[in-house]
Amino acid sequence: MANTANGGNVVDVGQIIDAGRWSSYQKAALVVAALAVILDGFDNQILSLAIPVLVKAWNVTRDDFKWVLVVGFAGMAVGTAAIGTLGDKFGRRPTLIACVLLFAVVTIAISFVNSIPPLYPLRFLGGMGLGGAMPNAAALLAELTPARRRSIGVTCGIVGIPIGGTIGGFVAAELLPTYGWQSLFLVGGIMPLVVAAVMLVMLPESPRFLVKHPHRRKDLVKVLGRMGYTVDADANFIDTGEKKVEKASVGALLGPDYLRDTLGLWGAMFFTLLSVYGVVNWLPAMLGEAGYAPSMTSTGLMVFNLGGVVAALGGALCFSRFGSRKSLLVMAAGAVVSSIVLGLLPLDPTVSKVPLLVTLAFQGGFLNGVQTTMYALGAYIYVTELRGSGVGWAVGLGRLGAIISPLVGAALLADLGSRGFFFGIGLTMALSFASLVVIRRHVPKN
């Protein structure tokens, strides 16, 4: 805090956040926001986990689900771009809670369908909720965390994506054989309802968002008080920690100051999400068709996600020590190599599963490591007025890769088999590597 020349009390909210302590209240808020991300990762993958069972239950083929997956990812792309922008306008907190409620209700509804056609509108609506949650969670995590801990704070939240996928693998292995596929969607819908109730009570609004909206002054004073800062009744709130933008708009993302970084981030998100969801969509079905037991189809995806959890947290620590450029490029290169190795391994249930599972863990680690830590990179690149839009549009454009991943994966499997599929993943990650090289505004090492 500082005094102005005329004696008025000025509170620099940006300075408080960037240089202040990381209070227990801020850490608790991070955990609550991370719960939404975990559920996002869980709900986003349960259809893929259920496909081997639904193929038999509904007497359909694996290929019949590819357009359902496409529609779901299209909803995510729309939700990520559009709802990310709404978060900049109306606030991170209400937008994030609304997104959680949306995908909760839709997931419960899916448990009552008995054919493919109703899945199309439901997956699109659920995708909007899933997609809209991510940029708002990333922005909120960034704006509640001190600058020196921002990369690890954001990544600890976003790592909920592979954590949710890992939990989904465990839950699917337990529920599907005994209680059927409907139980998986019921659990996937009820849990977000519970988390939304917790968020209503415990999740704060971003102080950096509130300082941009003077009519929210009382809310800002309350949040700062819970963070341990007492301010005077006549305080004048400012944020000098970030460069101002004349107008917060999508066009600003493509202005001369951000163009190169925006295009590089969009490209890296596109190719990485194409790679990640290519594996997530088709790995369980691929293993099932190769003759592996149902438990192995869930275990393969679970190991893929578990590797992502470890690598994402390790990647965040590497951000602090080496900066984001070296960290991301090493992980992207590792994703290329591990994908090539997977293409060379036979999918044969009569041989040891250990090499396959170990390599899937490495591939999942590198792929998810790049995906999750890029949220921290996006949060670093853009200022508060553009953060929700910047991260939202990057992930939204990246979702185009997720949208085509069911089609690309199905085509590769049909024409080239599992070897061509994994080699294709290696190629897309090589393109992600090239996109990351383009970005100038990388997180520096501490």
Residues 70-94 have pLDDT tens digits of 898 888 878 877 776 788 788 889 9
Scored b (16 or more CB within 10 A) or e, 425-440 reads bbebbebbbebbeebe
Q: Could you tell me the strand order of the sheet in which 9-12 lies? A: 2-3, 9-12, 236-238
How is 47-109 classified by DSSP, letter by letter? HHHHHHHHHHHTT--GGGGHHHHHHHHHHHHHHHHHHHHHHHHH-HHHHHHHHHHHHHHHHHH
Mean pLDDT of 113-120: 93
Q: Which has the minimum average pLDDT: 43-57, 147-161, 370-384? A: 147-161
The Cα–Cα gap between 66 and 181 comes to: 18
Q: Name the pTM for this structure.
A: 0.71
Residue at 4 is within a domain:
no
Half-sphere exposure of 167 (CA within 13 A, CB side): 19
For the chain, give the percent of residues with pLDDT over 70. 95
Count of domains for the chain:
1
Closest CA to 346 of 417, 253, 424, 245: 417
pLDDT digits (tens, 9 = 90+) for 171-197: 887 888 888 899 999 998 999 999 999
Residue at 446 is within a domain:
no
Residue at 1 is within a domain:
no
Most confident region among 49-53, 309-313, 333-337 by mean pLDDT: 333-337
State the pairing for strand pair 236-238/9-12.
parallel
Residue at 252 is within a domain:
yes
How many other CB atoms are there within 10 angstroms of residue 200's CB atom? 12
Q: Residue 138: pLDDT above 90? A: no
Rg (CA), the chain: 22
Residue at 52 is within a domain:
yes
Q: Which has the minimum average pLDDT: 14-18, 32-36, 116-120, 365-369? A: 14-18
How many other CB atoms are there within 10 angstroms of residue 446's CB atom? 12
Q: Which residue range forms the structural domain that includes residue 281?
A: 10-438
In the numeric block, the tokens 């965390």 are attached to: 145
CATH code, 399:
1.20.1250.20
Residue at 443 is within a domain:
no
How many other CB atoms are there within 10 angstroms of residue 27's CB atom? 14
**Could you give phi then psi for residue 2, rounded to 5 degrees?**
-145, 165
Residue at 240 is within a domain:
yes
Mean pLDDT of the chain: 84
Structure tokens at 41: 């990762």
The Cα–Cα gap between 29 and 8 comes to: 31
Residue at 445 is within a domain:
no
Closest CA to 16 of 233, 270, 208: 208
